[in-house]
Structure 1
Amino acid sequence: MQCDYYDAGVCRSCTLMGRPYPLQLSGRVQHVRDLLAAAGDVTWLPPVESPEADYRNKAKMVVGGTAEEPTIGLLDRTGRAVDIRGCGVCTPGVRAVLPVLAEFIGTAGLTPYDVAARRGELKYLLVTDSPDGRVMVRFVLRSQEALPRLRKHLPALLRRLPQLEVVSANLLPEHKAVVEGDREVVLTEASTLPMRVGDHVLHLRPQSFFQTNTTVAAALYRQARAWTQELGPASVWDLYCGVGGFALHCAGEDRDVVGVETSPEAVASARLSAREAGLARVRFEVGDAGSFARAAPDVPELVVVNPPRRGLGAQLGRWLEASRVRHVLYSSCNATTLASDLAAMPSLRPRVARVLDMFPQTAHQEVAVLLERD
């Protein structure tokens, strides 16, 4: 893939840009295999490839410049705002709305936040594109000051962009290196973006996590479902379940599935998807994965874990190692912490694994591993 921003030195976020895709993929696969070599003999399935471009369904864009001439993109190493609204790894649906949003910033008088001066209102634009062409836009603001103007001009924006399903304002008053705050104000009638992935429609609320690459996410869920069908467990836990992708795809007529997630917004979305799919034996709970596992009176036949980059954590890892759980399906976005977690659970041996290329043009990797107790 060729990128003008990368070639000009404007953006170097995609660290492997310009390297032939087959070499990128083989390098990621070898890196993961090297990290997991100490875990023993593993059957490696062929890696899941991704489109090289147009794959990111979510853009987290820094807003700089002025309301009349905003930049939508990132801050460079000097703190200067850089416009990359034509970023080629974002989906066409994301790219299509950014020029209109740039005009809207001026119309609504949304002054971009000046990091150095610590003044201004609009910090970020967070844009998510669904497989059906519907879009969610979140304006990350420093305060409520701009909310009346957002509401006033929103009808005109919706006329310009009829594909907008959800529009919200996220309030981030603190001056710190985070992308969003705790409070969300939904400005449209709809509050969830339907994301059709595999056999299910997953409902994404503004503060819910979702996989960045929809095509590869569908392949990940298909792989999880195939392994689950092969094992045929009567009971499954999906820990760190997010909006329920693994739980819903691993469901079966004779199978009890429980999803656990700390985010109430994500759990509300997962419950809606389960109701729409008519999955009466799938339920979701708000809670900490480790606390849920330690307090449960019994253990399931299969545990699915999809932790954040930091991995499982010591408590859940110790619980899994000491438990009677026969199989664990571990989906990891960080093979380094995956290797550490496997080392802490020697009774659960990797049986089969697969690299899924969720992030082309970067060194990041996604790997799914099926573990079986010795």
Structure 2
Amino acid sequence: MSTLTSTQTQLPQLHLPRNPGLPLDLDRVARVQANTSAIERRAATLPGRRSVKKDYQAAWLLKAVTCIDLTTLSGDDTEGRVRRLCAKARQPIRADIQDALGVSGIQTGAVCVYHDMIETAVDALQGSGIPVAAVSTGFPAGLSPFHLRVAEIEESVKAGAREIDIVISRRHVLTQNWQALYDEMKAFREACGDAHVKAILATGELGSLRNVARASLICMMAGADFIKTSTGKESVNATLPVSLVMIRAIRDYFDATGYHVGYKPAGGISKAKDAITYLALMKDELGNRWLQPDLFRFGASSLLNDIERQLEHHITGAYSASYRHPMG
């Protein structure tokens, strides 16, 4: 199948200069605005603007798989569950489906776990090249003492996490304390060392799209490698209007500095058609370079099930039961 190609996952920022951040520029932050009605109108048109069919749809879905941070963040996580998840990350699409599509070597972008499961995940993924991401800094609320949040990052890096998903203090955004947000993010970035950092904005709790835009800019100024919508634990997670705001903040930052910053929508993305919409949005707003897993990730778990079902339908013409596509 000539339109389908294998994509090998790479460690984020491996081939691009890492965003070093900038001095905090409060005048620039104050100039950032968001036209909510215009953003919502544009976002409403997105699901119907791109239509890909047959082999092309399958190729886009395979691309989406390589951009998934396969995630388990439950209080009842066990080593067995994490090892099954890692096995699924190594081979997210059944071998017979890959053979029928003429591809091989498909893997997910990362496996995301709590700190206690880092060593288990690192061991289970040994030799695969798939990085382990750890949620940190008092995830999901980010309300533990500051020195403990910094120490948590350092311990996770020491345990083998190559990516750290931190949560910002929402109160700094809601009170417009941009200096505090910048200093916090900068400290988190420094604690990560060589591990790259995804800044979770928890956009559903920030009050306005303007706040989302300003928080995105400040986190990038402080050295974030990725900006991410949500923890997945809020009542409102990734949405297209929020994504449009954050993606355009990334574009403006790149235009001003030349540094690439990645984007990760998380929470509520569970259907294959939604994955294609987000990929199309990235292509439209940022271009093909941002369709690679070093600059784009989905924070998801159930999304993979639906993608695998859609790929089997592409091959056989029939939908299989969802239980035929277990997560792990």
Give the TM-score of the pair, scaled to structure 1.
0.30
Give the TM-score of the pair, scaled to structure 2.
0.33
The higher radius of gyration belongs to 1
Q: Counting helix residues as a fraction of each chain, which structure ranks higher?
A: 2
Q: Counting strand residues as a fraction of each chain, which structure ranks higher?
A: 1
Higher RCO by CA contacts (8 Å cutoff, separation 6 or greater): 2
